[in-house]
Amino acid sequence: MSVFDIAHGTRRHSLAGFLQPLVTAFEAWNDARHTRAALQMLSDRELDDIGLTRAEIETVARRR
């Protein structure tokens, strides 16, 4: 019985190991999407106030 439990636990661990990079990538993509949307809502003057231009929005959003 304990061999079955160990094998079953290992299978769960390998699934979590497989999914974690996918979850991390999704979270990074979603954070960039939110950042991009927030920055795109700012006026050119507001972007200038924080030292950005519209051309830099994508770079800043992906940097997080």
The reported pTM is 0.70
Query: Average pLDDT over the chain, rounded to whole?
Result: 88
pLDDT of residue 23: 96
Statement: residue 11 has pLDDT above 70: no
Tell me if 39 sits within 8 A of 60, measured CB to CB.
Answer: yes
Identify the residue with better confidence: 36 or 3.
Answer: 36
> Residues 62, 35: contact at Cβ < 8 Å?
no
The sign of the torsion formed by the CA atoms of 37, 42, 43, 44 equals negative
The reported pLDDT for the residue numbered 2 is: 59
- The residue among 62 and 7 whose pLDDT is bigger is 62
pLDDT at 8: 59
